Amino acid sequence: MELQFGSNTLGFPILSFVTFFPLVGAVILLFVPRDKTNFIKWFSFFWALILFAVSLVLWFKFDRGTWQFQFVERVPWIDKLGVEYYMGIDGISILLVLLTTFVMPVCVLCSYEYITEREKEYYIALLALAVGMIGAFCALDMFLFYVFWEVMLVPMYFIIGIWGGPRKLYAAIKFFLYTFFGSVFMLICIIAMYFMYHAKTGEWSFNYVKWLAYLNDIPMKYQFWLFLGFFLAFAIKVPLWPFHTWLPDAHVEAPTAGSVILAAILLKLGTYAFLRFPIPFFPEASKFFAPFIAILSIIAIIYGALCALAQEDMKKLVAYSSVSHMGLVMLAMFMFNPTGIMGSIIQMVNHGLSTGALFLIVGILYERRHTRLIREYSGISKVMPGFAVIFMFAMLSSIGLPGLNGFIGEFTCLAGVFKANWLYALFAATGTILGAGYMLWLYQRTMFGVIAIEENWYLPDMKLREWVYMIPFVIFFIWIGVYPKPFFKIMEASVNHLVEYVNMRTSSVNVSMDSSKMNAALSFLTDGKEVKR
Amino acid sequence: MIEYAWLIPVFPLVGMTINGIFGIKYIKDKAHWVAVPALGLSWLFSILVFIDVLNGKTALIELFDWIITPDINVKVAFWIDQLTAVMLMVVTTLSFWIHVYSIGYMGHDPGYPRYFTYLNMFVFFMLILVLGSSYLLLFVGWEGVGLCSYLLIGYWYERESAWKAGMKAFITNRVGDYGFILGMFTLWYYLGTLNFNEVFAKAHTLSPEIVTIATLLLFAGATGKSAQIPLYVWLPDAMEGPTPVSALIHAATMVTAGVYMVARSNVLYSMAPLSLEVVAIIGCLTAFFAATIGTSQFDLKRVLAYSTVSQLGYMFFGCGVGAYASGIFHLMTHAFFKGLLFLSSGSVMHAMSDVLDMRLMGSLKKYMPITSFTFIIGGLALAGIPPFAGFWSKDEILHHAFTSGHITLWFLGTLTAGITAYYTFRAVFMTFFGRGRIPKVIKEHLHESPPVMTIPLIVLSIGAIFAGFVGLKKGETTYFGEFLAPVIHVVHHANEGHAKAIPESMLIALSVAVGLTGIFIAYIVHMKKLIDPNEWVKRLWFLHRVFYRKYWVDELYFALFIDRTLDLAFFSWKFDQWIIDGVVNGAAWISRAFAWITRYCTEPFIVDGAVNGASYVVDLSARVLRRVQTGLVSNYMLFVVAGTVCLLTVFMFIRLF
């Protein structure tokens, strides 16, 4: 069998460059005196901007016609263990990499006034975070992926724990331990698969493509447990109901940039990882678990929206809306049809953009009034008309108004879901009503009405810096809403391949909820050690 | 000309963009110099396109790909046929004149450029709605106009009633759209396409049940957008918006989108007799029900609002009995006369310093001759008095209802016509005639509106007088019906025998008589005061109260849906805090306790023994978790990661060597 490791037509290790470029910036910052805050800020901004500019090469040079990995770099790393340094992206990950590089300069720019102490460390942490995120999206070696996956937690932990709100420690530790708790199960599964691979081929390797090629006949009873291990790690990250409670806390306590990154990128890592690892590794188990995941997702959609409706804190409201939206992403993904998966990827991007923008908006208000309670605001559009327009765009994008990006994702997701099971769609679509409910209500409670609190009369409208980082979001809202074709086109080949692969693997197996499979899976409990050989 | 039809929505789009970006800072009170010419161009192009269509041309203009996945293929494309042409004319004509009117009406408003931005945006989306060549593009316009409606109802956002009404409108519409989107999915699932051409061409492959389900779901969307039972509740409240908005959006154009959608999908509806029956019954009931409420309201605009709900009911009623062309015909005439009525009432409002209570009016004819004249023309058209526009279309609908065998509905419809005439002229007499009850403060300022407002009134009253003549008989059908014939799939009813039993002239005479009776009653009660309305209110207090409080539907919906949803929301949140998060925190607490035990009770012994991996982990977590209380965890977190990597390495080395 010839393995498709992919190739790099660019002749330049661009993924490594994009991944480690922020690290170089962070190292340079180490040597900058801490009192030169202005320099630190602008340096980080331009560094992140250059990062984004460079990453655009990926967009232009990406070959839309193939599902194979591109811009691949593959060198041995730890020879004894068979660990490789193997990076590459395909249609599934490219948009998320670009989303990350797009969000970075915004996050730097929105922190200028929010972060007032230990700026140097803050920008270093921010840049270090980018390394972990981009690396995790690009890594195709399981070991490498795991390293990036865990590395990412540390700067995020610091960002919440040091520059966060009043309950920052609780939130940071909860975030860290909860995510970490899940990752351990993934680690166990990775190790198990590592041995399984060795047992089969006699070679030690963490190579994703090799695993996919040779570990394609894992018996259902092992798949069952391996899938669950990965599921736990990623479901916490997504977060899928009922593993979501770390999210509102982390969001509320994190500084604006932290919330933006959390919502826009970190959550996407969970959904991306589902698409990258458990689904192609364990198609049978994935189909077996699909109904459960669908039910959890539907609960997440409705429950998240209901919780959002009850919030008094704007950030918490947006956080719960994330739970609701990510539920739809998960639901569409586990329908295993091209439309659903394309919808779910585009919805990941959309959610990153619209929720990111909403967190920035809350941040803008917070910087002015130092409160996020909805009742502290009313009639703001009178004093901040420009802000009201931007907020309106973000809100409409979030509730899926046709013509803006949210609709494209929501519609394709729901279409994919409907195609697989109309009953799921029936429930999932109620999210659109509730979504409009909590978002409009938030908007009107803060922006409409008369100004009741004296202080609010003196709120200044958006500053130039704020315009600079909000306008790109609006451009993306409209672009994806009106002309999403390039975004669909870039992922099409990879998604089609994935769906074909999964269907090919599962076509011979009748995957349904029958009790014999369940028993077979559970029998593993009694002869547990089998998995290693 | 028809190949340039795509420019029609582009003009308002450009206008909206210019006003949206530069309006507040630079253009300010000159915003109409952008918005009105844009609409003028749209109107002009629509007329040219209409002439092309009259000459038998139709066109499909494909602009660019929109949503393209392996299963979905939706292009941004415009489809122009006879039905579109009629809608284009209605939308652009009304929009243009209402834009002109707004210059006068909204002058001096601080949000002037914002107003015109929204208004242009509305026209843009409305044009997308009628031009769109697929259900999905129709839905874009459909939601877009909903947004503009929301923005314009809440235009005076400092008024609580205004933004509440806006939100109510949006959410209610979303409930309908939920049905609409599922209807679209149903069609897409079975036909693999959402383009009108393909859907209608392939429709015969669908089973009757599927068509019924799909059409009912689409109709659910229509009940939201076009304010039918059970989702009509938002429209009366929508009157919080500026009056030209009520005229344009909540009378003439947006609210008729549902009727347009049903007429557009007539191929599907004709395949589903059950759906048609539902449409007819809902339409007719709404017509009757809203008319009864209209008789008891004192707010001039609310009377007109309920009247709009009622007239929209007629349109659906027409579609439901298979007379789609008549439904669209009524849509067109209604756009003129109801637009006219609203604008006239706006003119009254303008003069009366925003007072709308008819109990504080009367004798306005003296002060506002043009407005009262145009209002009466609109009123006559609404009441269905020949030869005014409303007569022709309403009569056609009732006639079709009768001939298709819906005798009960026909009777209800005719009765409603009488009620309509009554409440219309109740409003006319209370507002323009009789003894003036106007407060002195207002009386001093009473004046006729400026020409920029009265000219649109005159133009629309010409429409309200003459628009009906396109419905003149031409052989078996009418001129209008013949024009629309290529688009409309004719339904043949089994029991058309009734048509022969009673000649059409009898029906016409009957409905005119009913209309005149309504006016006569209004004349006796509200003009001559031969009957004291108050006494009758006392005698029929129960009925009056039911009508006046609008059958308590709002209260019912609040109690049943809104409050329950909020209860559920609050419950979910508490559940989240205490149960789900409780488990998480509980687990954390248990491990902390465990860690404490390990640290102080078991560790001393284990340290003596062999150090194994398990205790290392426990120890590490113990240290980490213990630090939770002191708040200096940061350093240890690095340990966790380092530890994991070490662990991983250790495990592997154990296996390797």
Helical residues (DSSP H) of A403-463, grouped into ranges: 405-420, 422-428, 430-447
User: How would DSSP label each residue in A190-233?
Assistant: HHHHHHHHHHHHS----BHHHHHHHSTT--HHHHHHHHHHHHHH
Q: Can you give the length of chain A in residues?
A: 533
CB pairs under 8 A between A and B: 188
Please give the structure tokens belonging to residue B17. Answer: 């963009």
Is the CB of B637 less than 8 angstroms away from the CB of A157? yes
pLDDT at B14 over 80: yes
Q: Hey, is the C-beta of B589 within 8 angstroms of any chain A C-beta?
A: no
Interface of B with A in 90-149 (CB under 8 A): 136, 139-140, 142-144, 147
Mean pLDDT of B393-417: 89
pLDDT at B485 over 90: no
A309 in a structural domain: yes
Helical residues (DSSP H) of B5-159, grouped into ranges: 7-22, 32-54, 82-105, 112-131, 135-153
* Terminal CA-CA length for chain A: 23
Is the CB of A418 less than 8 angstroms away from the CB of B648? no
pLDDT, one tens digit per residue, over A63-115 is 998 999 999 999 998 888 889 999 999 999 999 999 999 999 999 999 998 88
Tally Cβ neighbours within 10 Å of residue B435. Answer: 8
User: What pLDDT score does A478 carry?
Assistant: 94
- What is the pTM for the complete model shown? 0.89
pLDDT at A527 over 80: no
How many domains does one find in chain A? 1
Q: Which residues of A touch B74 (CB under 8 A)?
A: none
Q: Which residues of B touch A184 (CB under 8 A)?
A: 644
Residues 6+ apart with CB under 8 A from B493: B321, B322, B403, B404, B405
pLDDT, one tens digit per residue, over B181-204 is 999 999 999 998 999 999 999 888
Is the CB of B185 less than 8 angstroms away from the CB of A414? yes
Mean pLDDT of B603-607: 54
Rounded to an integer, what distance in angstroms lies between the CA atom of residue A15 and that of residue A4? 18
Rounded to an integer, what distance in angstroms lies between the CA atom of residue A365 and that of residue A151? 32
Helix (H, G, I), strand (E, B) or coil at A86: strand
Domain range enclosing A302: 291-483
Tally Cβ neighbours within 10 Å of residue A291. Answer: 14
The percentage of chain B sitting over the pLDDT mark of 70, rounded to a whole number, equals 89
User: What pLDDT score does B356 carry?
Assistant: 80
pLDDT at B85 over 60: yes
pLDDT, one tens digit per residue, over A238-263 is 889 889 989 999 999 999 999 999 99
A352 in a structural domain: yes
Q: Compare CB distances from B637 to A154, A174, A419 and report the shortest one's residue.
A: A154
pLDDT at A447 over 60: yes
Mean pLDDT of B271-276: 91
A133 in a structural domain: no
Q: Hey, is the C-beta of B547 within 8 angstroms of any chain A C-beta?
A: no
Q: Which region among B400-409, B450-459, B529-538 has the lowest average model confidence (pLDDT)? A: B529-538
User: What pLDDT score does B1 carry?
Assistant: 78
pLDDT, one tens digit per residue, over B130-146 is 999 999 999 999 999 99
pLDDT at A524 over 50: no
Residue with token string 């805090």: B577
Q: Directed axis angle between helix B300-320 and helix B407-432, to 10°? A: 160
Which of the four pLDDT bands, split at 50, 70 and 90, describes residue A217?
confident
Q: Hey, is the C-beta of B71 within 8 angstroms of any chain A C-beta?
A: yes
Rounded to an integer, what distance in angstroms lies between the CA atom of residue B96 and that of residue A6? 59
Q: Compare CB distances from A310 to B67, B572, B651 and report the shortest one's residue.
A: B572
Mean pLDDT of chain B: 84
User: What pLDDT score does A526 carry?
Assistant: 44
The percentage of chain A sitting over the pLDDT mark of 70, rounded to a whole number, equals 95
- One-letter amino acid identity for B567? D
Closest CA to A371 of A522, A165, A521: A165
Which of the four pLDDT bands, split at 50, 70 and 90, describes residue A177?
confident
pLDDT, one tens digit per residue, over A115-126 is 888 888 999 999
Residue with token string 């917070």: A366
A58 in a structural domain: no
Q: Hey, is the C-beta of B150 within 8 angstroms of any chain A C-beta?
A: yes
pLDDT at A208 over 50: yes
Find out whether A374 and A313 touch, Cβ atoms under 8 Å: yes
A404 in a structural domain: yes
Residue of A nearest to B570 (CA): A310
Taking the CA of residue B619 and the nearest CA in chain A, the distance in Å comes to 15
Radius of gyration of chain B (CA): 31
Which of A418, A434, A447, A490 has the highest number of chain B CBs within 10 A, making it the mutation to test binding with B?
A418
Is the CB of A402 less than 8 angstroms away from the CB of B139? yes
DSSP state of B404: T
Q: Which residues of A touch B76 (CB under 8 A)?
A: 482
Q: Hey, is the C-beta of B189 within 8 angstroms of any chain A C-beta?
A: yes
Rounded to an integer, what distance in angstroms lies between the CA atom of residue A475 and that of residue A469? 11
Please give the structure tokens belonging to residue B20. Answer: 């949206």
DSSP state of B358: G
User: What pLDDT score does B537 carry?
Assistant: 74
Closest CA to B616 of B651, B580, B647, B649: B647
User: What pLDDT score does A513 carry?
Assistant: 44
The percentage of chain A sitting over the pLDDT mark of 90, rounded to a whole number, equals 64
Q: Hey, is the C-beta of B648 within 8 angstroms of any chain A C-beta?
A: yes
Residue of B nearest to A493 (CA): B70
pLDDT at A333 over 80: yes
Rounded to an integer, what distance in angstroms lies between the CA atom of residue B286 and that of residue A3? 67
User: What pLDDT score does B506 carry?
Assistant: 84
Q: Which region among A236-245, A361-370, B405-414, B554-563 has the lowest average model confidence (pLDDT)? A: B554-563
Find out whether A103 and A30 touch, Cβ atoms under 8 Å: no
Interface predicted TM-score of the whole assembly (ipTM), two decimals: 0.89
Rounded to an integer, what distance in angstroms lies between the CA atom of residue A126 and that of residue A143? 23
More confident residue, B651 or B32: B32
User: What pLDDT score does B634 carry?
Assistant: 46
Please give the structure tokens belonging to residue A309. Answer: 């409706």
User: What pLDDT score does B631 carry?
Assistant: 44
Which of the four pLDDT bands, split at 50, 70 and 90, describes residue B424?
very high
Rounded to an integer, what distance in angstroms lies between the CA atom of residue A61 and that of residue B602? 60
Q: Which region among A117-121, A148-152, A523-527, B613-617 has the lowest average model confidence (pLDDT)? A: A523-527
A315 in a structural domain: yes
Q: Hey, is the C-beta of B572 within 8 angstroms of any chain A C-beta?
A: yes
A260 in a structural domain: no
Is the CB of A432 less than 8 angstroms away from the CB of B177? yes
| Cross-strand pairs, B80 | B59
Mean pLDDT of A267-288: 92
Q: Which residues of B touch A183 (CB under 8 A)?
A: 644
Q: Which residues of B touch A485 (CB under 8 A)?
A: 64-66, 68
Q: Which region among A406-420, B374-388, B432-446, B622-636 has the lowest average model confidence (pLDDT)? A: B622-636
Interface of B with A in 51-70 (CB under 8 A): 64-70
User: How would DSSP label each residue in B362-392?
Assistant: --HHHH-HHHHHHHHHHHHHHHT-TTSHHHH
Find out whether B250 and B239 touch, Cβ atoms under 8 Å: yes
Residue of B nearest to A449 (CA): B158
A49 in a structural domain: no
